[in-house]
């Protein structure tokens, strides 16, 4: 659900950056209709404004330091328990409050929705 000043975050474990990108990629059917990504299907998300989505694949396992450099990081990074950062990739969707209905699917984990402030 679109809610201003909320960021929903998922972490995951993929064998390669290409595999991660395929997981996030939306496609089109033969009629030109947009088909949701595997990520969106896994977590039953109908729409994501991709201007408000950031994601990154890392060569090693995630740490809190890996969150430095994401938009508004200084306003929410301290709220995240580092023990939740399992895997080698992260997906952030800003101005979006995920229901939390599905916690884990295909090695991707929803870790929470956090308040953030725009500069």
pLDDT of the residue at 32: 84
Place of tokens 């972490």: 11
CA 116 remoteness from chain centre: 15
- Please report which helix (H) or strand (E) contains residue 10, including its range: strand 6-12
Question: Which two three-digit tokens encode residue 85?
Answer: 């950062």
Closest CA to 92 of 74, 75, 112: 112
Residue 29 confidence (pLDDT): 87
Contact call for residues 37 and 28 (beta carbons, < 8 A): no
Q: How confident is the model at residue 9 (pLDDT cuts 50, 70, 90)?
A: very high
Structure tokens at 24: 């996030």
pLDDT in tens, 41-83: 999 999 899 899 999 999 999 999 999 999 999 999 999 999 9
- The domain segmentation of the chain, as residue ranges, is 6-115
Q: Please calculate the CA angle 54-116-44 and round it to the nearest 5 degrees.
A: 50
Q: What is the pTM of this model?
A: 0.93
Task: Give residue 1's pLDDT.
Answer: 76
pLDDT for 100 equals: 87
């Amino acid at each position: 659900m679109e809610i201003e000043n909320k960021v929903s975050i998922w972490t995951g474990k993929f064998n390669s950056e290409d595999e991660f990108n395929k997981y996030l990629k939306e496609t089109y059917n033969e009629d030109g209709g947009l088909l949701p990504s595997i990520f969106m299907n896994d977590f039953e998300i109908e729409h994501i404004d991709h201007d408000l989505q950031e994601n990154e694949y890392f060569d090693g396992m995630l740490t809190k330091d890996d969150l430095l450099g994401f938009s508004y990081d200084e306003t929410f990074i301290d709220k995240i328990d580092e023990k939740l950062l399992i895997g080698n990739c992260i997906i952030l969707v800003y101005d979006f409050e995920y229901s939390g209905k599905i916690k884990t699917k295909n090695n991707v984990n929803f870790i929470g929705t956090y308040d953030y402030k725009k500069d």
